[in-house]
Amino acid sequence: MIDFTNTKVAFGMKTNADLKQSRLLFTSLKSARVVGMLKNITLAALAIRLPIKGIVKATVFRQFCGGETIEECQRQIDRLAKGKVGAILDYSVEGKAEESDFDRTMQTTIETMEFAVANDDVPLSVFKPTGLGSIGIYEKVSLGDPLNETEKVAWAHTKSRYSKIFAKANELGVPVMVDAEESWIQPAVDELVIHYMKKYNGEHALVYNTAQLYRHDRLQQLKDVLALAQKEGFIYGVKIVRGAYMEKERERAAKKGYEDPIQPNKAATDSDYNAAVDLILNNLDHMAVVFGTHNEQSIQLAAEKMAALGIPPSDPRVLVAQLFGMSDHISFNAAAYGMNVAKYLPFGPVKDVLPYLFRRAEENTSVEGQTGRELSLIQEEVKRRKQA
């Protein structure tokens, strides 16, 4: 099946200098203490306006982001395309809370769709729900709590942004994914996204939701929405991921005294993820999927299941996705096998994407084996090139 050990394919887009920089970066990310120290130094330097943007942009930003603007991303899009891997432009500005910021995210998302129309290497667009509206209002809507008059106006604006994005997606024929959020605001997101699936996903998937399988209720939710899609005649577009926010979710559940929404262990998450792979591939007449994972076994399982069902690796209803700067051995080897593959390519002003970059750094430190796996493969490729 897929050979994930082929480092020549995995790092074909990287120069020797790129590999050396990646090796240095992932060596640094092995230490949670170093990551924490670098985060604190960066934030402190920005607070007193030290000119460190160039350093950040040349190191961690370069590893995990495509550029500060859509146009700057073109270089990385072209490099990915050489390995038959697409790019999903992800405006990764976080932590904004003003209506003008939400409008800017909406407009930038639309610009990524317009860019995709003229670029075959950009298969779809994406946005984060909290980029379009207030976390607090999402939470109140999810709980069914009444909104005051100001909140009603703000919520109407949020729904209008969704409407404009999906209408433009339909006009341009560019699919768009909606990222997942924390469990306590996800119900409002699900309701909105499913509404637009019913409206636009009649013949093919234009609108995609996201299911985080580290939640113990998401496999059943997948089954429920599939049943709804079969009953009402629409295509259920979904990206499945294992998930984020685990520590935050558990702390909040304990503090507020409700059931922990997170799986009891990683094995349970893996089991539900793989069950979701099986469920989706057996129901592609009513579903389209993005397998968002850095887990080799899950991609191999998907490839084997597709082969067993007689589904070509390049079936347009199936896409594999990883984050830019990580798991190139999965992305490029799956693409070489013939699967549709794309990288999430974050972009935005350096200072505004720092929360995203810190999360990537902390994730590589905390996920067991992640950094070690990246490092060992980079070192193998460096060795192979020296011997070539």
Please state which CATH number belongs to domain 66-351. Answer: 3.20.20.220
pLDDT tens track for 203-254: 999 999 999 999 999 999 999 999 999 999 999 999 999 987 788 899 999 9
Residue 280's nearest CA partner among 321, 226, 208, 207 is 226
- List beta partners, residue 176: 125, 207
Where b means 16+ CB within 10 Å and e means fewer, 52-88 reads eeeebeebbbbbbbbbbebeebbebbebbbebbbbbb
Where b means 16+ CB within 10 Å and e means fewer, 193-218 reads bbebbeebbeeebbbbbbbbbbbbeb
Q: What are the contacts of 307-311 at 24+ separation with CB within 8 A?
A: 307/1, 309/281, 309/282, 311/281, 311/284
pTM, two decimals, is 0.94
Element housing 104 (H / E): helix 99-117
Domain ranges of the chain: 66-351
Element housing 264 (H / E): none
pLDDT tens track for 126-166: 999 999 999 999 999 999 999 999 999 999 999 999 999 99
pLDDT tens track for 284-323: 999 999 999 999 999 999 999 999 999 999 999 999 999 9
Compute the distance between CA of residue 37 and CA of residue 134 in angstroms, rounded to an integer. Answer: 31
Tell me the torsion sign for CA atoms 88, 93, 99, 103: negative
pLDDT at residue 169 greater than cutoff 60: yes
Compute the distance between CA of residue 258 and CA of residue 262 in angstroms, rounded to an integer. Answer: 12
